[in-house]
Amino acid sequence: MTTPEGPGAEPHHGPTAEEIAGLVGAERTAGEYVPAPDLTPPVLDRPEPADQDRAPITGSGDAAIVAAEKRAETTRGLDIADVPPLPIPADTANIRARPGLHPECQPLLPLVGVWRGTGRYGNEPGENDPQFGQQIVISHDGRPFLRYESISWLLDPDGSVRRPGGREVGFFRPQPDGSIELMLAHSEGRIELFYGRQRSAAAWALSTDATLRTPTAPPVVGATRLIGITPDGKLAYVEERAHTDVELAPYSSAALDRIAG
């Protein structure tokens, strides 16, 4: 490990370029997962050593796996909730907590919080039974953007949970001209960039300007979202989607209760 020279120089706490190169090489070798060849040269006319005298022959891949096992001894019993806090302010979904909401995010203030409830797909008349559950977390760290995360789960007709559903993560980015950017990444293999504006003190309308998807993602080519806070305090939205062979049509809607913030 090296340190920079000169008065007042800060000590170098990270790996050197040579150490990084060595780590990369070790990971590549370990990642091959091939049996290590026996490189012991044949010895003729010599009695075989007893088992207790025979030295184990291991390759660099084996050594990397053993090293990984030893490192895991201190972490295998821990999970996300056990991780020490970051050395920077944590995100908050409560506008009353520090750090304070950035002034540029004030138009989005009613959205900050943790929301949970149920929703439906499509727009069939007379259908009211919930088809999915959802939690949306909209938080901030004091800078001029909001973090967005949605986790959903599918419901059976009796209301029981069938299995996990889609997930979304992204950021609301309010702009000086009053417009709003919303960048979303979907677990199903799609990235969307929405633009929109505030319609009222408690309603926002956005539509996609760009959509990028992987070969295995649903063929969504565009979407709109109308988001609002209802008079009884719920976060409600309607999402429309357009596919390669389907025009823009209602895809999902939900009304979520504020459970934190």
Token pair 């295998």 is found at: 76
On whether residue 252 sits in a domain, the answer given is yes
Q: Which of 232, 247, 227, 244 is nearest to 108 (CA)?
A: 227
On whether residue 37 sits in a domain, the answer given is yes
Do residue 127 and residue 225 come from a single domain? yes
Do residue 177 and residue 225 come from a single domain? yes
Do residue 77 and residue 171 come from a single domain? no
Do residue 60 and residue 121 come from a single domain? no
On whether residue 181 sits in a domain, the answer given is yes
| Tokens describing residue 210 | 């760009």
On whether residue 149 sits in a domain, the answer given is yes
Which of the listed residues 82, 114, 129 is the one where a domain comes to its end? 82
On whether residue 6 sits in a domain, the answer given is no
**E strands, the chain, where?**
113-121, 132-139, 146-155, 161-174, 179-186, 190-200, 203-213, 220-229, 235-243, 246-260
Contact by Cβ (8 Å): 195, 204? no
3-class DSSP state of 181? strand
Residue 74's pLDDT is what? 82
- Give the dihedral of Cα atoms 77, 79, 81, 83; nearest 10 deg: 80
Residue 32's pLDDT is what? 47
Alpha helices in the chain (DSSP H): 17-32, 60-72
Which of the listed residues 82, 111, 131 is the one where a domain comes to its end? 82
The CA distance from 228 to 239, in Å, is 12
Question: What tens-digit pLDDT sequence spans the chain (261 residues)?
Answer: 444 444 454 554 556 666 655 655 555 555 444 454 454 555 445 455 555 555 454 455 778 888 778 877 788 888 988 889 889 888 999 988 888 999 999 999 999 999 999 999 987 766 778 999 999 999 999 999 999 999 999 999 999 999 999 999 999 999 999 999 999 999 999 999 999 999 999 999 999 999 999 999 999 999 999 999 999 999 999 999 999 888 999 999 999 999 998
User: 27: domain range?
Assistant: 17-82
Do residue 177 and residue 243 come from a single domain? yes
Do residue 117 and residue 175 come from a single domain? yes
Do residue 117 and residue 69 come from a single domain? no
The CA distance from 143 to 171, in Å, is 12
On whether residue 88 sits in a domain, the answer given is no
121: domain CATH number? 2.40.128.20
* Structural domains in the chain (count): 2
Do residue 108 and residue 23 come from a single domain? no
On whether residue 194 sits in a domain, the answer given is yes
Do residue 130 and residue 75 come from a single domain? no
The CA distance from 150 to 256, in Å, is 12
Which of the listed residues 82, 112, 135 is the one where a domain comes to its end? 82
Q: Residue 80: how many CB atoms within 10 A of its CB?
A: 5
Do residue 186 and residue 131 come from a single domain? yes
Contact by Cβ (8 Å): 168, 150? yes
Do residue 165 and residue 68 come from a single domain? no
Do residue 236 and residue 162 come from a single domain? yes
On whether residue 23 sits in a domain, the answer given is yes
